Amino acid sequence: MTQLQHRETIPAITARIDAEGRRTMSLIGILLSPFVRRVAVSLNILRIRYQLEETFVFGEPEKVRRNNPLVRIPILVLDDGTNLVESGAILDEVDQMVSPDRRLIPGDGPLRRRVVQTGAIALACAEKAVWAFYEGRVRPAEKIHDPWIDHNDKQVLGGFEHLNAAATDLDDGGWIGGTRNISQADVTTTVAFTFAKLARPNLQLEKRFPQLSHFVERCETLPAFSKTPITPVNQLASILSKPFIN
């Protein structure tokens, strides 16, 4: 099995009932997290019903721990109460819930490799932007290590430079993974770039990578993305006022 499943014996968030009385999945996390948001957008594209349980892991660690021993988000609680954790494993399982022609990662061949590799680079950009973002928030000022921040920022720039080159060859209807329809490469690239712009404004990503920025702007106007936007700037102060832990 490719997904990581964890069944709890203690009380945990269970499947929800929607307004029409149907059981639905719960996605635990906040949309500021690129890992949570890429799952949310993917579920939207695949038209899989779910409810977002907005949870900030640093503010509510015990709530998260009841559903994931790693105390990490996202967590997808299936309609039978099973918990799936880690965005890559969640998305692998979610793809199995739809027909092969609707999946966000092709089943085999060079196209699958391109989608997976493009998504992996984009996800790494998000991860490195997170590490640079956290450095100034989880450590005392005297222990912040600027060379580590610079190292992560350079990795972010390197990944987006590669993705910008891929976006340069696209027309207004093209997809960065080379697929006929939107793929996980497009989802993760868009979510990662939007997050990094917010978290690392000093990098001036829109100016550095105009072709990629244009592609991301196009994706962000799609209903699957606009339905689950990244946390607005005016709400960040409230979120970031909660204590961060290392």
Q: Look at residue 238 and tell me whether its pLDDT is greater than 90.
A: no
Q: What is the pLDDT of residues 98-146, one digit of tens each?
A: 999 999 999 989 999 999 999 999 999 999 999 998 887 777 788 888 8
Q: Look at residue 5 and tell me whether its pLDDT is greater than 80.
A: no
Structure tokens at 44: 């939207």
Beta-carbon neighbour count of residue 173 at 10 Å? 6
Compute the CA torsion angle 222, 223, 227, 230 (nearest 10 deg).
-10
Q: What is the pLDDT of residues 140-179, one digit of tens each?
A: 788 888 899 999 999 999 999 999 999 998 988 899 999 9
For CATH 3.40.30.10, the residue range(s) in the chain are: 5-102
Q: 82's torsion region: left (phi>0), alpha (psi -120 to 50) or beta? A: beta
SS3 155: helix
Residues 6+ apart with CB under 8 A from 221: none
Q: Residue 146 has what pLDDT?
A: 87
Q: Residue 231 has what pLDDT?
A: 78
Q: Compute the chain's Rg from CA coordinates.
A: 18
What is the mean pLDDT of the segment spanning 194-212? 96
What is 24-54 written as a DSSP string? EEEEEE-TTSHHHHHHHHHHHHHT--EEEEE
- Tell me which residue of 168, 164, 206 sits closest to 189, measured CA to CA: 164
The CATH class, in words, for 109-230 is mainly alpha
Q: Residue 7 has what pLDDT?
A: 33
Q: Indicate the range of 11-20, 88-97, 140-149, 204-213 predicted with least confidence.
A: 11-20
What is the mean pLDDT of the segment spanning 47-73? 91
Q: Residue 4 has what pLDDT?
A: 35
Q: Which spans in 47-145 are helix H?
A: 61-65, 87-95, 109-138
What is 68-85 written as a DSSP string? -TT--S-EEE-TTS-EEE
Task: Indicate the DSSP class of residue 201.
Answer: G
Cis preceding-peptide flag for 229 (omega within 30 of 0): no
What is the mean pLDDT of the segment spanning 188-210? 96
Average per-residue pLDDT in the chain? Answer: 87
Q: Residue 68 has what pLDDT?
A: 93
For CATH 1.20.1050.10, the residue range(s) in the chain are: 109-230
Q: Residue 239 has what pLDDT?
A: 59
SS3 104: coil
pTM for this model (two decimals):
0.86
* Element containing residue 5 per DSSP (H, E): strand 5-6
Q: Look at residue 218 and tell me whether its pLDDT is greater than 70.
A: yes
Q: Residue 84 has what pLDDT?
A: 97
Q: Residue 171 has what pLDDT?
A: 86
Q: What is the pLDDT of residues 7-16, one digit of tens each?
A: 333 233 344 5
Q: Look at residue 234 and tell me whether its pLDDT is greater than 90.
A: no
Strands 23-29 and 50-54: parallel
Q: Residue 90 has what pLDDT?
A: 97
Beta-carbon neighbour count of residue 17 at 10 Å? 12
∠ Cα 138 202 195 (to 5°): 70
Beta-carbon neighbour count of residue 78 at 10 Å? 19
- State the fold for domain 5-102: Glutaredoxin (3.40.30)
Q: What is the pLDDT of residues 10-37, one digit of tens each?
A: 233 344 544 554 568 999 999 999 999 9
